């Protein structure tokens, strides 16, 4: 008589001492990018609030459980794959959504973007992995519901910047940077952010003096950048990036003028025009780009800091640079993602698009 297979149970987390538990926690923190940690924190706050509010309708308890139940995972997907504007006032999903809006955790009753839901589910699954538990989102029914919901809510992705900051736009921004300390800093920031491959604002803000090598500037006109990590690379795996020409000159001038010998590369500047020890935040980088666009005469919302990234790749495509060479600097991990910028240029330059004259 064959033995009846034992039902599967998630592996129990190993018994750890307090010191080992603290060491494991520290390992997770040190081994996870800061942007990911911030996303985990936001998602945990949102998920906890959603379940606490939904508990009145599910009767499954307000606190998160480990592992979480499929009876909770499925409503989470269903609540976030519908446009709730036309839902009845008594609809539990609408009531929960309105409460989340009042708490500032949700923007509207419109169905969230599939990417937003994907990220929150990914965080929830990551929390289970950290506890050595299986996630309810791996169950066949839950996976199928998520796939159907993704198709039902599919939409054209909105660009992170309304327009790319191509070389022409960048030149307009640089023309607004005078010889004052703030202008010297902004010129260096914009040129580094663009010419080094289109750096994200978080990457610009995180650059330290020790990440920059000026040894070859006077002999070869080169400045080397060694970022600790990026969105697509882990600590210790980010290749060196190079600045040359005007971009290298602008950065060298800023470092010399501000007498930066350690700490953050780009600093806040006092009202009197003196560089401060405090490094810029990612939001400060956003404000600088916005300010320079306004000075250059561009309308509000014309571009965001991500326009430096999209503009670099768009210009590379316009100038006929091989996509592999552009990706070597932009550090795109996905060829398909980088190809989108090249495709837009190719379509615009395609002779078949001008058949009507």
pLDDT in tens, 97-117: 999 999 999 999 988 888 889
Angle, in degrees to the nearest 10, between helices 70-79 and 34-58? 100
Pairwise pLDDT comparison (207 vs 60), residue with the higher score: 207
Q: Where are the domains of the chain?
A: 18-152, 167-212+245-349
- The answer for residues whose C-beta is within 8 angstroms of residue 338's C-beta and 6 or more apart is 313, 323, 326, 327, 330, 332
Q: Which two tokens stand for residue 126?
A: 């990551």
Full strand arrangement of the beta sheet holding 241-244: 212-213, 222-225, 241-244
pLDDT at 184 over 60: yes
Please give the DSSP secondary-structure letter assigned to residue 6. Answer: P
pLDDT at position 234: 56
CA distance 40 to 65: 17
Residue 324 is predicted with a pLDDT of 87
Helix (H, G, I), strand (E, B) or coil at 259: coil
pLDDT reading at 294 higher than 70: yes
pLDDT in tens, 206-243: 899 999 999 999 999 999 988 766 555 555 567 788 89
Q: 223 and 252 in contact (C-beta within 8 Å)?
A: yes
Please indicate whether residue 35 or residue 189 has the higher confidence score (pLDDT).
Answer: 189
- At the fourth CATH level, the homologous superfamily of domain 167-212+245-349 is Intergrase catalytic core (1.10.443.10)
Residues 6+ apart with CB under 8 A from 317: 323, 326, 341, 342, 344, 345, 346
Round to whole Å and give the CA distance between 73 and 126.
14
DSSP state of 47: H
- pLDDT digit string, tens, across residues 67-79: 999 999 999 999 9
Q: What is the pLDDT of residue 151?
A: 82
Nearest CA to 58 out of 47, 74, 41 is that of 74
CA diameter of the chain = 88
The whole-angstrom separation of Cα 89 and Cα 85 is 10
Residue 289 scores a pLDDT above 90: yes
3-state SS, residue 337? helix
| Contact between 353 and 347 (Cβ < 8 Å) | yes
What is residue 112's predicted lDDT score, i.e. its pLDDT? 87
Residue 297 is inside which H or E element, if any? none
Closest to 65 in 3D by CA, of 144, 123, 133: 133
Q: Are 241 and 197 in contact (CB under 8 A)?
A: yes
**Tokens 């882990």 sit on residue:** 234
Which one has a higher pLDDT value, 37 or 104?
104
- Is 342 in contact with 231 (CB distance < 8 Å)? no
pLDDT at position 1 is 41
The secondary element (H helix, E strand) that includes residue 353 is none
Q: How confident is the model at residue 37 (pLDDT cuts 50, 70, 90)?
A: confident
Tell me yes or no: is domain 18-152 CATH 3.60.20.40: no
The mean pLDDT of the chain is 85
């Amino acid at each position: 008589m064959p033995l009846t297979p034992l039902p599967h149970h998630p592996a129990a987390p190993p018994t750890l001492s307090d010191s080992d538990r603290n060491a494991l926690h520290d390992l997770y923190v040190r081994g996870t990018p800061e942007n990911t940690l911030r996303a985990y924190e936001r998602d945990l706050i949102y998920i906890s609030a959603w379940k606490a509010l939904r508990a009145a309708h599910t009767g499954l308890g307000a606190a998160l459980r480990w592992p979480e139940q499929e009876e909770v995972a499925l409503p989470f997907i269903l609540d976030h794959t519908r446009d709730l504007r036309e839902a009845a006032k008594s609809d539990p999903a609408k009531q929960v959504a309105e409460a989340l809006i009042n708490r500032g955790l949700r923007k509207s009753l419109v169905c969230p973007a599939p990417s937003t839901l994907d990220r929150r589910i990914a965080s929830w699954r990551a929390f289970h992995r950290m506890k050595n538990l299986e996630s309810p989102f791996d169950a066949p029914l839950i996976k199928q519901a998520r796939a159907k919901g993704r198709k039902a809510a599919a939409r054209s992705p909105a660009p992170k910047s309304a327009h790319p900051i191509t070389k022409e736009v960048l030149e307009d921004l640089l023309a607004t940077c005078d010889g004052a300390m703030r202008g010297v800093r902004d010129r260096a920031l914009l040129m580094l952010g663009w010419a080094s491959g289109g750096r994200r604002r978080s990457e610009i803000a995180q650059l330290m003096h020790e990440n920059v090598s000026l040894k070859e500037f006077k002999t070869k006109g080169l400045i080397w950048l060694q970022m600790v990590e990026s969105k697509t690379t882990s600590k210790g795996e980010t290749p060196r990036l190079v600045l040359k020409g005007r971009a290298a000159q602008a950065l060298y001038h800023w470092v010399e003028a501000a007498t930066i010998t350690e700490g953050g590369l780009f600093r806040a500047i006092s009202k009197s025009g003196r560089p401060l020890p405090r490094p810029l935040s990612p939001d400060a980088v956003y404000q600088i780009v916005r300010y320079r666009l306004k000075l250059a005469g561009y309308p509000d919302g014309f571009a965001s800091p991500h326009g430096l990234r999209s503009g670099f790749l768009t210009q590379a495509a316009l100038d006929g640079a091989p996509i592999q060479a552009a990706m070597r600097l932009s550090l795109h991990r996905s060829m398909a993602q980088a190809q989108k910028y090249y495709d837009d240029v190719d379509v615009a330059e395609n002779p078949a698009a001008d058949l009507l004259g």
